[in-house]
């Protein structure tokens, strides 16, 4: 087996855990060649729970593992990504029990690889917990298995087909005036106070209101939806969920379930012109089971706003930290299309996805065993210098800009066009109306999550 280190001499602090390894130095790269004897892979049992520890991989990145999800890491994961990408671009993370893919090419290839399935992820988050707890959390596991982004073909094709009609470019373009209206109202309210929290006062209410209106849910309940969906996101982004997090998530899920099943019953009796009524119709026509209907609505509710909050929040933060780029956009608002693409690349709302290996495979020289979870790190891919020249520079005119913030392949984000419209209107309107906006405090607290990335609050003055 070969481990390619992309042309960089291995640092001296590398500790070889593999018993038999030899190093070959070629003009272009250092190769570490392991024997593939039976002892190079090791499994052990802990409290009756099966854990699989990889000892055939370099254990060089202890500093990465130690820093994972620390405040320093959350404030700027990109310097950690950069180090790992150059030293060990396919990294086994003991902390998260997953393989982290740091290069653009590996991320794109993995999202196209049919051997890497989306299914089974909830199980991977819980498999370290005692069997009895896993059994109690069965409703939670079953629920995630109905989310479209965790379902593989042919069911995925059916589910995506059912909901795609609600996301045609034409329908989304028609939402522009309503999005502008909500943005204007939010900014007008905020302007009176001369200070605001961009996350709670602006970035969150906009997409939450829009997705509630699309689904046909009362926007005044959105604070409650946010609490429920935030719990689901927290569970997923935790990597390996703590028992209390998993139990809390399940409680929130069951509360949301009661709420939505009540709405479904109302729509069955009195259909309206909204997504829930259309999906309830599909359920009655046997194209969708009740669990799938519930899963679809919860997923759209969460996917429809959690990530767009990050686009608006992280995007405005990046502009405030780069006044030259902010001024450029203020003086030429027509640059907003490329600006939003660059903001999606520069500080991506979703930093990682997850896939399960259906069979053994090799990625960039590393052997991935059947059943292991691989995390394509979108945030790292979007800063890969092999794909993006000078990747740490924010350039709102960057072209080409083939970022992977919306994923790749069959699960490519269905709501991407909507998120783009929301982001373009929100960011342009904000910086035009508040030209003097400044960050009120640089000590930001970031969401403790491997995947969703945004500051928990972003106080500004203007």
List of residues contacting ligand HEM (CB under 6 A): 118, 148-149, 160, 211, 300, 303-304, 307-308, 311, 349-350, 353, 405-407, 411, 413-415, 418-419
In terms of CB distance, is 61 or 314 closer to ligand HEM?
Answer: 314
Nearest CA to 355 out of 69, 100, 57 is that of 100
β-strands 98-101, 373-376: how paired? parallel
Q: How far is the CB of 129 from ligand HEM (least distance, A)?
A: 23
Q: How far is the CB of 118 from ligand HEM (least distance, A)?
A: 6
Nearest CA to 340 out of 392, 390, 391, 405 is that of 405
In terms of CB distance, is 7 or 177 closer to ligand HEM?
Answer: 177
In terms of CB distance, is 88 or 347 closer to ligand HEM?
Answer: 347
Q: How far is the CB of 172 from ligand HEM (least distance, A)?
A: 9
Nearest CA to 98 out of 114, 82, 110 is that of 110
Q: How far is the CB of 225 from ligand HEM (least distance, A)?
A: 13
Q: Is the preceding peptide bond at 154 cis, omega within 30 degrees of 0?
A: yes
The phi and psi torsions of 49 (rounded to 5 degrees) equal: -100, 130
Q: By three-state DSSP, how is residue 356 classified?
A: strand
Q: How far is the CB of 301 from ligand HEM (least distance, A)?
A: 9
Give the residue closest to ligand HEM by C-beta.
Answer: 415
Q: By three-state DSSP, how is residue 447 classified?
A: coil
Q: By three-state DSSP, how is residue 375 classified?
A: strand
In terms of CB distance, is 63 or 164 closer to ligand HEM?
Answer: 164
In terms of CB distance, is 67 or 411 closer to ligand HEM?
Answer: 411
Q: How far is the CB of 396 from ligand HEM (least distance, A)?
A: 16
Nearest CA to 430 out of 186, 235, 137, 239 is that of 186
Structure token digits, residue 237 = 């982004």
In terms of CB distance, is 196 or 418 closer to ligand HEM?
Answer: 418
For residue 150, give every residue at least 6 positions away whose Cβ sits within 8 Å of its Cβ, in sequence order, or none: 118, 119, 121, 122, 144
Q: How far is the CB of 310 from ligand HEM (least distance, A)?
A: 7
Is the Cβ–Cβ distance between 88 and 5 less than 8 Å? yes
In terms of CB distance, is 65 or 213 closer to ligand HEM?
Answer: 213
In terms of CB distance, is 93 or 451 closer to ligand HEM?
Answer: 451
In terms of CB distance, is 58 or 421 closer to ligand HEM?
Answer: 421
Nearest CA to 222 out of 243, 199, 241, 206 is that of 206
Q: What is the largest CA-CA distance in the chain?
A: 72
Q: How far is the CB of 167 from ligand HEM (least distance, A)?
A: 7
Rounded Cα distance, 65 and 92, in Å: 10
Q: How far is the CB of 150 from ligand HEM (least distance, A)?
A: 7
Q: Is the preceding peptide bond at 140 cis, omega within 30 degrees of 0?
A: no
Rounded Cα distance, 142 and 423, in Å: 33
CB atoms within 10 A of CB 295: 22
């Amino acid at each position: 087996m070969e481990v390619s280190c992309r042309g960089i001499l291995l640092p001296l602090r590398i500790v070889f855990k593999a018993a038999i390894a030899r190093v070959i130095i070629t003009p272009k790269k250092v190769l570490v060649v392991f024997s593939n004897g039976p002892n190079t892979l090791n499994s052990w049992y802990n409290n009756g729970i099966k854990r699989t520890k990889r000892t055939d991989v370099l254990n060089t990145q202890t500093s990465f593992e130690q820093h994972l999800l620390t405040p320093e890491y959350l404030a700027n994961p990109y310097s950690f990504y950069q180090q790992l990408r150059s030293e060990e671009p396919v990294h086994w993370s003991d902390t998260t029990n997953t393989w982290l893919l740091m290069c653009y090419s590996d991320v794109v290839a993995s999202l196209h690889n049919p051997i890497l399935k989306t299914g089974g992820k909830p199980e991977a988050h819980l498999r370290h917990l005692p069997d009895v707890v896993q059994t109690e959390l069965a409703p939670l596991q079953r629920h995630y298995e109905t989310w479209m982004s965790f379902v593989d073909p042919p069911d995925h094709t059916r589910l995506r087909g059912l909901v795609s009609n609600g996301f045609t470019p034409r329908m989304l373009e028609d939402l522009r005036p309503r999005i502008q209206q909500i943005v204007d109202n939010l900014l007008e309210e905020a302007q009176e106070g001369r200070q605001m929290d961009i996350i709670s006062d602006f970035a969150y209410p906009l997409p939450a209101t829009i997705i509630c209106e699309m689904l046909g849910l009362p926007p005044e309940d959105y604070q409650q939806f946010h609490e429920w969906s935030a719990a689901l996101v927290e569970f997923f982004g935790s990597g390996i969920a703590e028992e209390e997090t998993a139990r809390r998530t399940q409680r929130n899920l069951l509360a949301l379930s009661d709420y939505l099943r009540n709405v479904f019953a109302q729509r069955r009796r009195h259909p309206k012109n909204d997504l829930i009524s259309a999906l309830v119709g599909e359920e009655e026509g046997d194209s969708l089971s009740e669990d799938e209907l519930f899963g679809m609505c919860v997923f759209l509710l969460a996917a429809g706003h959690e990530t767009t909050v990050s686009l608006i929040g992280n995007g405005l933060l990046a502009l405030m930290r780069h006044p030259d780029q902010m001024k450029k956009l203020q003086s030429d608002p027509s640059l907003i299309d490329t600006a939003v693409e660059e903001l999606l690349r520069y500080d991506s709302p979703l930093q990682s996805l997850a896939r399960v290996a259906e069979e053994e495979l090799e990625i960039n020289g590393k052997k991935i065993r059947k059943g292991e979870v691989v995390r394509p790190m979108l945030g790292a891919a979007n800063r890969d210098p092999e794909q993006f020249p000078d990747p740490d520079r924010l350039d709102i005119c960057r072209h080409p800009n083939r970022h992977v913030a919306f994923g790749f392949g069959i699960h490519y984000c269905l709501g991407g066009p909507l998120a783009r419209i929301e982001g373009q209107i929100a960011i342009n309107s904000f910086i035009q109306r508040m030209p003097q906006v400044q960050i009120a405090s640089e000590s930001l607290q970031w969401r403790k999550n491997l995947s969703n990335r945004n500051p928990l609050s972003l106080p500004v003055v203007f």
